[in-house]
């Protein structure tokens, strides 16, 4: 079963203009498939690049990381009492440019979990063609109460 934007907003702390997921299409133990609809109205297209708009690769990786965050949170009983931090990325490769009008399909698979640390393999596709891939690491940290 998937998740719509309302569900995503209830899980991730990200908001416009940095929320880079539109929906979760599929979830299974240790795997997730998300979607990012790439619109010309994205604020980064103003400067990347005028007359030749290309989605920045770091934002493709961030979209993968956000889907991976939802995957990692699925293993936690008290999501609202934790925050997820991006720790690292390895083997990042950009295969094809992503342009306005593309739909990014983000596939994440859990490779390993050791305590609060998650390692995942992420792949991004447009029209069934691999456009980016990376191994991502994230950690969960309990939210500190302000009381």
Residue with tokens 């990786």: 61
Q: Which of 14, 48, 96, 99 is catalytic?
A: 48
Residue with tokens 């990381």: 65
Q: Does the active-site annotation cover 14?
A: no
Q: How confident is the model at residue 141 (pLDDT cuts 50, 70, 90)?
A: confident
Residue 79 resides in a domain: yes
Q: How confident is the model at residue 136 (pLDDT cuts 50, 70, 90)?
A: very high
Which residue in 75, 77, 57 sits closest to 122, CA to CA? Answer: 57
CATH of the domain at 61: 3.10.129.10
- The boundaries of the domain holding residue 38 are 5-142
Residue 97 resides in a domain: yes
pLDDT at 80: 63
Question: What pLDDT digit, counting tens, does each position of 93-115 carry?
Answer: 999 999 999 999 999 999 999 99
Residue 106 resides in a domain: yes
- Into how many domains does the chain fold? 1
pLDDT at 145: 56
Question: What pLDDT digit, counting tens, does each position of 35-75 carry?
Answer: 999 999 999 999 999 999 999 999 999 999 999 999 999 99
Residue 72 resides in a domain: yes
pLDDT at 40: 96
Residue 14 resides in a domain: yes
Residue 71 resides in a domain: yes
**Residue 105 CB: number of other CB atoms within 10 A?**
18
Residue 147 resides in a domain: no
Residue 39 resides in a domain: yes
């Amino acid at each position: 079963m998937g998740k719509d934007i309302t569900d995503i907003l209830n899980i991730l702390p990200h908001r416009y203009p940095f929320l880079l997921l539109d929906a979760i299409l599929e979830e299974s133990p240790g795997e997730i498939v998300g979607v990012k609809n790439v619109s010309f109205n994205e604020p980064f297209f103003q400067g990347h690049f005028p007359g030749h708009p290309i989605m920045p690769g770091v934002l493709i990786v961030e979209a993968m990381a956000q889907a991976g965050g939802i995957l990692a949170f699925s293993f936690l009983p008290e999501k609202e009492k934790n925050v997820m931090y991006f720790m690292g990325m390895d083997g990042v490769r950009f295969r094809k440019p992503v342009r306005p009008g593309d739909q990014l399909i983000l596939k994440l698979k859990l490779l390993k979990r050791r305590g609060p640390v998650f390692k995942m393999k992420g792949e991004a596709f447009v029209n069934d063609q691999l456009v980016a891939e990376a191994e991502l690491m994230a950690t969960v940290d309990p939210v500190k109460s302000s009381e």
